[in-house]
Amino acid sequence: ELQKLLDENALTEDTMDVHSVTAIRADMERMEARRLQPYFIESFFLAAFRQLGGKIHARENGRYEITSVPFAVRNRDSQIGTGESVLRRYERIAFDKAYCTVQGQAAAVLIAPGHPLLEAVIDLVRERSMDVMKRGTIFVDENDAGTDARLLFYIEDAVQDGVPLPGGGRRIISKHIHFVEIRADGSAANAGYAPYLDYRAPQPEEAEPIRTFLAGQDWLSRDVEGLARSYAVRALIPTHLKEIRERRTARIDKTIKAVKERLTAEIQYWDYRAGELREKEAAGKTNAGLNAQKAAQRAEELSARMQRRLAELDMEKHIAPTAPIVVGGALVIPRGRLSMIMGHVESMTADPAARSAVEQAAMNTVMEIERSLGYLPRDVSAEKVGYDVESEIPMHLRASGDAPLRFIEVKGRRADAATVTVTKNEILTAFNKPAAYILALVAVDGTRTRTTYLQRPFRERPDFAATSVNYDIKELMDGATVLLQR
C-alpha cells in the first residue's frame, strides 16, 4: 500500500523499483557504448575545423592547442550564439574531461555538444554541405564481399505535442535520426547508428567504371525516397512515438491529478472563507484586510488558473509524429560488386556460404559460452550497433560496481587465419566502453572451435579517413587482456 501511494504521488520517475533501475542502467550502458563524446566528436571536429581553415595542433596526450580560429567560425557564432563567445585562439582544448586538468599544465576547455566553438563548426559544415547531402554521394563498403548495391538514406523524424508555437506549428519534444538501406528489390532495413563510418570514398580510377555501372541500374530512378520514408513510418517512427508517449503521458497524468487536488482544495477553502465573511459582514462585522468579495475573487482566479493549466496539460498529451524528412542519401557499392565493375578477381577467400557458416559457428559458440557462464546473451548483430552480442549479467553474478551488460564483437575466422578486420564503428565502441567491450576471436576448424575473449584489444583510435583496420591476431592477443580461452 505504501509503495502504491508513493508511485501515485511521484511526479517524476525518481520513485522506481529495482527492476526499473536495472532497466534504466542497462539503457545507459547501451547509450554510453554508442555515445559521440569523446571519440566521434574529436574525429569530426579535427577534420571539419581544419577544412574550415582553422589551425589546431596536438600537444600533450588528449590535448590540443588552437592557434587560429577562422573568422567564418567566429562570425557564425555571433549569429547563432547565445552565451559565451568563440575566442580567436585556445591555449588548450580537450574532448575528454579526463584531460581537462593536468598538473603543471594550463587547464583545457572541454569541446563537447553545446560548446559554442563546436556548434559554430557544425552549423557551418551543415550549411556548406546540405546541398551535397541532398544530391548524395557514392561509398564503397570494403567489408561486404557481396554484389548487391544499396541506397543509404539519412532520415530525421520528430515527435510533437499540441502546444502551439508563436510562429505557427506545434512544439517539437523529441527528434531522432535514422539510417535506412534500400536494395534493388525494394526491401528496406535499418542500417544502424553510423554506417557511413565503415565506408570509404571511391578512388579516382574507380569513378568512371562506377558511373557506367549506375547507368544500367533502372531501380535507382524509382521512388526510392518514398520507400525509405515508408519504411521509417512503418518500422522506426512507431517505436520512437511509443517511447515518448508512454513516458510523457505517465508524467502528465500525475501532474493533472496533483493540479486538481491542490487547486481544488484551495478553491474550496476560499469559497468557504467567502461564505464565512459574508455572514460576518451581514452581522456588521467587517475585516479591513479581507472581505467576502476578495475571497470570492481569489476562488474565481484559482478556478481560472486550474482550467488554464489543465488545458495546457491536455495540449501536452496530444502527442503525434511529424512526417519523416529525407536529409541525405548515398549509394553504397560493396567490395564484391566493385571488383566485378573494375574487372578484378577477388583474392582467394572462402565462398559466401562457407564464410557465412564460419560466422554462424562463431556466433553459436559465443552465445553458448555466455549461457554456460550464467549470463543472458542476445544476438544484436542485425541492429548494427558496433557489437554482435549483448550479454546481460544477472544481479546475483555481478560484483559490486560491475556493469550489467557485456558488449561482445564476434570475429569468426578459419583456424589458419593470421589477421582479423575490425570496422571503425567497432573500434570506437570499444574505446567508449573499454571495461564492458569484448572482442571474441573464434577460430573455426570444421566442427571444432577455439574462442578467445580479449578486453581492451585496441591501443590506438583509427584515423578519420579509415573505415576498418586489419590486425595481426597474435599482436592483438599480446597487447590485450585475455579474459577467457575455451
Answer whether residue 203 shows pLDDT above 80. yes
Instruction: Decide if 14 is inside a domain.
Output: no
Pairing of strands 481-485, 448-455: antiparallel
pLDDT value of position 5: 57
Instruction: Decide if 288 is inside a domain.
Output: no
Dihedrals φ, ψ of 393, to 5°? Answer: -95, 115
113 and 147 together in one domain: no
Cα–Cα nearest to 182, from 145, 207, 215, 217: 217
pLDDT 10s digits, 26-69? 888 888 888 888 888 998 999 999 999 999 999 999 999 999 99
Find cell 550564439 and name the residue: 81
The number of C-alpha atoms within 13 Å of 327 and in the hemisphere containing its C-beta is 13
The number of C-alpha atoms within 13 Å of 198 and in the hemisphere containing its C-beta is 26
pLDDT 10s digits, 78-92? 888 767 899 999 999
Instruction: Decide if 5 is inside a domain.
Output: no
Q: Give me the chain's average pLDDT, please.
A: 90
- The model's pTM is 0.77
- Mean pLDDT within 359-363: 96
Q: How many Å apart are CA 109 and CA 91, to the nearest integer? A: 9
464 and 397 together in one domain: yes
pLDDT value of position 101: 94
Give the residue from 125, 160, 177 where a domain finishes.
125
pLDDT value of position 150: 96
Residues 6+ apart with CB under 8 A from 108: 63, 92, 93, 94, 99, 100, 101, 102
Q: How many Å apart are CA 469 and CA 473, to the nearest integer? A: 12
Instruction: Decide if 317 is inside a domain.
Output: no
- Host H or E run for residue 149: none
Weakest-pLDDT range from 126-135, 372-381, 404-413: 126-135
192 and 75 together in one domain: no
Contact 75, 59 (CB under 8 A): no
* Beta-bridge partner residues of 157: 176
Confidence of residue 24 (pLDDT cuts 50, 70, 90): confident
DSSP for 403-441, please give it: -SEEEEEEEEEETT--EEEEEHHHHHHHHHSTTTEEEEE
pLDDT value of position 346: 59
pLDDT value of position 15: 52
Confidence of residue 18 (pLDDT cuts 50, 70, 90): low
pLDDT value of position 467: 86
Decide: helix, strand or coil at residue 112: coil
pLDDT value of position 58: 95
Answer whether residue 75 shows pLDDT above 50. yes
- Mean pLDDT within 186-207: 92
146 and 209 together in one domain: yes
Q: How many Å apart are CA 168 and CA 173, to the nearest integer? A: 15
384 and 430 together in one domain: yes
Answer whether residue 461 shows pLDDT above 90. no
Confidence of residue 20 (pLDDT cuts 50, 70, 90): low
Instruction: Decide if 2 is inside a domain.
Output: no
- Mean pLDDT within 221-248: 94
Find cell 511509443 and name the residue: 242
Q: How many Å apart are CA 475 and CA 422, to the nearest integer? A: 14
The total domain count for the chain is 3
pLDDT 10s digits, 247-306? 899 899 999 999 999 999 999 999 999 999 999 888 888 877 888 899 999 999 999 999
Contact 457, 483 (CB under 8 A): no
Cα–Cα nearest to 381, from 332, 335, 423: 423
Decide: helix, strand or coil at residue 325: strand
- Mean pLDDT within 327-355: 83
C-alpha cell at 475: 599482436
Domain that holds residue 361: 352-485
Contact 323, 315 (CB under 8 A): no
Pairing of strands 389-392, 405-414: antiparallel
Q: How many Å apart are CA 422 and CA 134, to the nearest integer? A: 30
103 and 144 together in one domain: no
Q: How many Å apart are CA 440 and CA 390, to the nearest integer? A: 12
Q: How many Å apart are CA 89 and CA 83, to the nearest integer? A: 17
In the sheet with 437-445, reading across from the earlier edge strand, the strands are: 376-379, 389-392, 405-414, 437-445, 448-455, 481-485
156 and 71 together in one domain: no
pLDDT 10s digits, 112-162? 998 999 999 999 998 988 888 788 899 999 989 899 999 999 999 999 999
143 and 71 together in one domain: no
Give the residue from 308, 342, 376 where a domain finishes.
342
72 and 192 together in one domain: no
- Mean pLDDT within 416-423: 94
Instruction: Decide if 96 is inside a domain.
Output: yes
99 and 225 together in one domain: no
DSSP for 192-249, please give it: -S-GGGG-BPPPHHHHHHHHHHHHT-GGGGS-HHHHHHHHIIIIIHHHHHHHHHHHHH
Answer whether residue 440 shows pLDDT above 80. yes
329 and 375 together in one domain: no
356 and 336 together in one domain: no
Pairing of strands 419-423, 468-472: antiparallel
Q: Is the sign of the CA dihedral 31, 32, 34, 36 positive or negative?
A: positive
The number of beta carbons lying within 10 Å of the beta carbon of residue 242 is 10
Give the residue from 125, 145, 167 where a domain finishes.
125
Answer whether residue 388 shows pLDDT above 90. yes
Confidence of residue 350 (pLDDT cuts 50, 70, 90): low
Instruction: Decide if 390 is inside a domain.
Output: yes
Higher-confidence residue of 449 and 84: namely 449
- CATH label of the domain that carries residue 387: 3.40.1350
Cα–Cα nearest to 456, from 472, 441, 473, 477: 477
Answer whether residue 348 shows pLDDT above 50. no
Instruction: Decide if 262 is inside a domain.
Output: no
Confidence of residue 363 (pLDDT cuts 50, 70, 90): very high
